[in-house]
Amino acid sequence: MPTTLESGLVLLILLAPGFIAVRVKNSLLSYRPPSAFQETVEAAILSAVLLPVWLVFGWRLLKARHHLMITSTTLEPLEMWTLLPAAGVIALVYLVISPVLGVLYALIQANQPYRTAASKIVRSQLDVHAHPEVWDRAFNRDIQPWIRVVLKSGTSIQGIARFAGLSPAGRQLLLVPLPGVPESLIRLDSTGAVLEDLTTRAEGVWVEIGSEVLFVEIFG
């Protein structure tokens, strides 16, 4: 049975490659310095990724451990050919595999390919195929612009846009009056005369942007 000291050394050997990989990643992404907690979590995760490597070459380490235990009790000379392969495994993990893992992790952090993949999966599962467009960019902000929706019939409606449907939702606008301003939500005829004053409708008016709409004017 391993002693407490031996268990600590084994744990240190297993976790150290993760910290090496994280340090390599941080050196490549210096503009994203992680907190101490985040760095520890990342190191633990990357160390777990390397567990298959330890399992493949673990017999070398166990053989070296067994040889050290025997020589410590019998005082026999150490056999370097037994210890060198174990040292080679540790050197391979520390000096080659861990830095390569850090580089790969930095590439993943920089390019975030999982975001694109997750977006495709979510869109396919939800049957969503719309993409951001000019309409989204015009309304995806905190400013509530003044809007005039002109219909093909020549009439129009204007007011403050409180809500706009963005992709993948249908195009629609919730127009509301400006508090305290008369005729700030109105319906106009083709000449610009007021057909209906909707200012008293505090809940606003929903306008579907469909085939009957000629164009929409946005006044910052």
How confident is the model over 141-161, as pLDDT tens digits? 677 888 999 999 889 999 988
* CATH code for residues 134-219: 2.30.30
- Three-class HEC string of 155-206: CEEEEEEEEECCCCCCCEEEEECCCCCCCCCEEECCCCCEEEECCCCCCCEE
Q: What is the dihedral of CA 107, 111, 114, 120, to 10 degrees?
A: -150
Predicted model pTM:
0.48
Question: What pLDDT does residue 1 have?
Answer: 43
For residue 105, count CB atoms less than 10 angstroms from its CB and return exposed for 0-12, middle for 13-18, buried for 19 or more: buried
- Spell out the domain ranges in the chain: 4-111, 134-219
Residues 51-109: tens digit of each pLDDT: 888 888 878 877 877 777 777 777 777 777 777 888 888 888 889 999 999 999 988 87
Question: What pLDDT does residue 157 have?
Answer: 92
